[in-house]
Amino acid sequence: MANNVVSTNNSINSVTRKGKYEPFELQVSRNQITGHSLVNIFGFGSTVATPTAGVFYPAWENANTPAYYVFPSSAQIMYVASTVSGDAGAFIQITGLDANYSPISEIVTLGGTAGTGVATVKSYLRINNISVALISPSNPTGVITIQNQAATSGAVEYAQINTSTLNGSTVSNGTSQMSVYTVPAGFTLYLSRFTANTSYTGNTANYTLYRAVAQYPSVLNSSATLVKRVVLQTPFVTEFNIQRSYPFVYPQGTDVVWQFAPSGTVAVSVGINIGGILIDNGS
């Protein structure tokens, strides 16, 4: 790899500007490789205080409800809400897929009624992420949800942004932290980094189970026959870390949920970090 070159005004020039070699990974990060984009999936979840041993939880904000993540059965209008009325006017960025699994996104402005969602313009078959938009005039102080109805009570949630105390103030974490992802139509997902960390210190009766569950469509439409496969499951203590020399491949339309299960009835928190590249099938 070439060294950086100092220009005549003592500023540092990128090797790319000098036409020299730059690592492929850095070029992808700089959006210089057509049809290639980074995918980083960060999930975090905590069980209920006394969980059931061996029950798998998706690593996301609602992990304390032990159930398989429920994907929408058809594309639908979604509703974005906050638990705090004072969050009115904040911007929430939604990233997902339409009825044809094609990527779509939009920005929704939060309303002023706590617990009542603002409708999206577009219809979503999948939600891959929600975040506070970088152009938002404020950082919300409440919990942000996106669900299938305007009222949060009784709604099915597809993503959530929790809050944290930062510098003495309670504000949004900024983005959903869910180990759930659906591969867009026309793309293939190549994953090479799989890590997880658990609050369990580990012993013969105190460890964490990790698994990945993939849901493959037979064809790319919302009425497809879906086949579920547990593609990986393993016990681990403290840390799970896999770096693949040859990436694991998920084809277009695949739903993937990375889950964890406690070995016992002591509460556990788990963070999951998945990374790879999404490549256009025409590239």
Q: Give the tens place of pLDDT for each residue, 178-230.
A: 999 999 999 999 999 999 999 987 766 789 999 999 999 877 766 677 888 99
Closest C-alpha to 249, from 216, 227, 210 = 216
Handedness of CA 232, 234, 236, 241 (dihedral sign): negative
Please indicate, yes or no, whether residues 184 and 141 belong to a single structural domain of this protein: no
Q: For residue 19, tell me if it sits in a domain.
A: no
**Listed residues 125, 153, 172: the one ending a domain:** 172
Please indicate, yes or no, whether residues 129 and 146 belong to a single structural domain of this protein: yes
Predicted confidence band of residue 2 (pLDDT cuts 50, 70, 90): very low
Residue 258: C-alpha distances to residues 34, 130, 150, 221 (Å): 29, 18, 28, 23
Count of domains for the chain: 2
Please indicate, yes or no, whether residues 56 and 190 belong to a single structural domain of this protein: yes
Closest C-alpha to 239, from 274, 208, 197 = 197
- For range 235-244, the mean pLDDT: 93
Please indicate, yes or no, whether residues 125 and 251 belong to a single structural domain of this protein: no
Please indicate, yes or no, whether residues 235 and 275 belong to a single structural domain of this protein: yes
**Listed residues 143, 172, 201: the one ending a domain:** 172
Predicted confidence band of residue 174 (pLDDT cuts 50, 70, 90): very high
Residues 173 and 271: beta-carbon distance below 8 Å: no
**Listed residues 148, 172, 196: the one ending a domain:** 172
Is the pLDDT score of 152 beyond 80? yes
Using only C-alpha atoms, what is the Rg of the chain? 21
Residue % of the chain over a pLDDT of 90:
73
Q: For residue 204, tell me if it sits in a domain.
A: yes
From the centroid of its chain, how far is CA 279?
A: 18
Range of the domain at 59: 36-68+180-280
Predicted confidence band of residue 236 (pLDDT cuts 50, 70, 90): very high
pTM value is 0.89
Predicted confidence band of residue 53 (pLDDT cuts 50, 70, 90): very high
Greatest mean pLDDT range, 45-49, 61-65, 142-146, 265-269: 142-146
The first and second tokens of residue 199, run together, are 């609050």
Please indicate, yes or no, whether residues 49 and 187 belong to a single structural domain of this protein: yes
Q: For residue 8, tell me if it sits in a domain.
A: no
Backbone angles phi, psi at 87, to 5 degrees: -80, 0
Please indicate, yes or no, whether residues 216 and 262 belong to a single structural domain of this protein: yes
Q: What is the CATH number of the domain that holds 58?
A: 2.60.120
What's the CA dihedral at 67, 146, 223, 226 to 10 degrees? -30
Closest C-alpha to 182, from 129, 229, 143 = 129
